[in-house]
Amino acid sequence: MMTERCRIVIVGGGHAGGRLAQLLSRGPDRVHVTLVGAEPIYPYERPPLSKGVLLGTSGLDDCVLWKPNDPVWERVETHLGVAVEDVDRVRKNIRLSDGKVIRYDRLVLATGSRVRGFPVQGSQLRGVFSLRSYADAQTVSKYFLASNRVAVVGGGFIGLEVAAAAAQRGIQPRVIEASDRLLSRLVPRLVADRLAETHLHAGVQLTYGAMVERFVSNGHGSLKRAVLSNGDAVDCSVAVVAVGVEPEISLAIGAGLEIDIGVITNEQLRTSDPNIFACGDIAAFWHPLYQRHIRLESWQNAEDHARILAAVLLGEEVTAPSVPFFWSDQYDLSLQIMGLPHLGTSTRRKPTASGSAILLHCDALERLVGATAIGPTALIGRELRKMRQLIASRAICNSVTLDGAELEVVAG
């Protein structure tokens, strides 16, 4: 256990930073926690933004991490709506955009991700949005009320969740995807095709192999249409650009920390500076199961890192990182990913009930490294929980059976 007074400063008021502050607030009084967040609101979870908030069924109270009567309110000093401009590793302090200087004994960078730039003509028009913050989701949801057509740029998870929300609100969405199918870098074709069928059935138009070349104004500064590289013109009063995110590592770069696919850390999330840690989207952390540095953008990763880092900073027993997990809910379907399927060199299908699919991904040594499933939440949730243990134990996935089931080799 920690015995000396320690000032811990967390930079980033997102999920990872907010959950970490909450866990640290339950520690001993000798720990002083400060949280600095660029957004003017308290930490919240992001998955509801592209689901309940866009549907109009969820508000900020449904997203916030800190609930009433939680000790975090009394134990954590907060500076919200301000940015950190500089980290001084020699003096061990940070300088805020409002001029304040805050000293630290331990610094945690939890700066999350920023939306990838989309520099096309007309991207500044009213009605063209990205979706990263609660304010973004609120604004898009309000625009949905007065819109009957929306263009969604990008057929990844966020883009498809936006399209699903729009369709469920009676709006006609058109998804514009540059590759030849949905989720081309993330899931096997079989899963992508199942998802595409569901969207088409819901009235979503899907356009593949095309990009937005420019957005066109109505003459009054608002969006009228999107012009595509294939020559199509898509009439729309709202466009949501969902072409991915990038880790917000500018502060870490400025501080001179080791960087690769993110901020390099060890298994306990310590960076190349022993007094600075990184967690959440920006951390390229050492995962003992996969014996490599990985960087993840997911709800579970934020929870995992907060749990691990709280134990490290409080001098408590530290448990290993979980098997990675990600999910996306669209209509009555859930798409869930366990482990790291992209490490697989072959894919097998496990028999399931009609309308569902569970794919197992095996590496060159026939070890199960990941699983991808699509179907009703309850059914595939049970199956994926079994897969978690098998992946963690490095189970052998041969061409005959796994977990007592006959497997079929399928194309990726």
Domain assignment of residue 19, given as a range: 6-114+246-314
Q: Using the predicted structure, report yes or no on whether residue 209 has a pLDDT greater than 60.
A: yes
Per-residue pLDDT tens for 339-353? 999 999 999 998 776
Residues 197 and 278 in one domain: no
Angle between helices 157-168 and 189-201 in degrees, nearest 10: 20
Q: Could you tell me the CATH number of the domain that includes residue 401? A: 3.30.390.30
Would you say residue 327 lies in a domain? no
Residues 265 and 299 in one domain: yes
If you average pLDDT over residues 68-75, what whole number do you get? 88
Per-residue pLDDT tens for 165-195? 999 999 999 999 999 999 999 999 999 999 9
Would you say residue 321 lies in a domain? no
Q: Using the predicted structure, report yes or no on whether residue 251 has a pLDDT greater than 50.
A: yes
| Residue 340: φ, ψ to 5° | -125, 80
Residues 210 and 167 in one domain: yes
Q: Could you tell me the CATH number of the domain that includes residue 256? A: 3.50.50.60
Give the residue among 398, 355, 405, 407 at the shortest CA–CA distance from 377: 355
Number of domains in the chain: 3
pLDDT-derived band at 399 (thresholds 50, 70, 90) equals low
Would you say residue 178 lies in a domain? yes
Would you say residue 324 lies in a domain? no
Which neighbouring-strand residues pair with 142? none
Residue 164 contacts residue 332 (beta carbons within 8 Å): no
pLDDT at 124: 97
Of 243, 267, 298, the residue at which a domain comes to its end is 243
Distances (CA, A) of 247 to 26, 163, 261: 29, 24, 9
Residues 350 and 259 in one domain: no
If you average pLDDT over residues 99-114, what whole number do you get? 98
Distance CA 401, CA 407 (A): 6
Residue 116 contacts residue 110 (beta carbons within 8 Å): no
Of 211, 243, 275, the residue at which a domain comes to its end is 243
Residues 298 and 365 in one domain: no
Q: Using the predicted structure, report yes or no on whether residue 3 has a pLDDT greater than 70.
A: no
pLDDT-derived band at 400 (thresholds 50, 70, 90) equals very low
Which neighbouring-strand residues pair with 9? 34, 107
The contacts of residue 119 (CB under 8 Å, 6+ apart) are none
pLDDT-derived band at 76 (thresholds 50, 70, 90) equals very high
Which neighbouring-strand residues pair with 223? 217
Residues 163 and 303 in one domain: no
Of 185, 215, 243, the residue at which a domain comes to its end is 243
* Residue appearing with tokens 């957004």: 39
pLDDT at 384: 87
Q: Using the predicted structure, report yes or no on whether residue 406 has a pLDDT greater than 80.
A: no
pLDDT at 70: 86
Residues 161 and 226 in one domain: yes
Would you say residue 326 lies in a domain? no
Give the residue among 305, 297, 344, 342 at the shortest CA–CA distance from 322: 305
pLDDT-derived band at 68 (thresholds 50, 70, 90) equals confident
Residues 227 and 256 in one domain: no
- The rounded Cα 107 to chain-centroid distance in angstroms is 23
Residues 99 and 21 in one domain: yes
Output the average pLDDT for the chain: 94
Q: Using the predicted structure, report yes or no on whether residue 401 has a pLDDT greater than 80.
A: no
Residues 227 and 253 in one domain: no
pLDDT at 402: 61
What does the angle CA 299 – CA 302 – CA 308 come to, to the nearest 5 degrees?
140
Would you say residue 225 lies in a domain? yes
Would you say residue 190 lies in a domain? yes
Residues 137 and 223 in one domain: yes
If you average pLDDT over residues 150-168, what whole number do you get? 98
Strand 292-294 versus strand 333-339 pairing type: unpaired
If you average pLDDT over residues 23-36, what whole number do you get? 95
Would you say residue 120 lies in a domain? no
Per-residue pLDDT tens for 259-277? 999 999 999 999 999 999 9
What does the angle CA 329 – CA 332 – CA 334 come to, to the nearest 5 degrees?
35
Distances (CA, A) of 35 to 94, 145, 337: 12, 36, 32
pLDDT-derived band at 34 (thresholds 50, 70, 90) equals very high
pLDDT-derived band at 382 (thresholds 50, 70, 90) equals confident
pLDDT-derived band at 19 (thresholds 50, 70, 90) equals very high
Distances (CA, A) of 198 to 101, 171, 190, 301, 374: 52, 16, 13, 28, 11
Among the listed ranges 145-154, 278-287, 394-403, which one has the minimum average pLDDT value?
394-403
Residues 77 and 147 in one domain: no
Strand order in 238-241's β-sheet?
A: 128-130, 238-241, 149-153, 172-177, 205-208
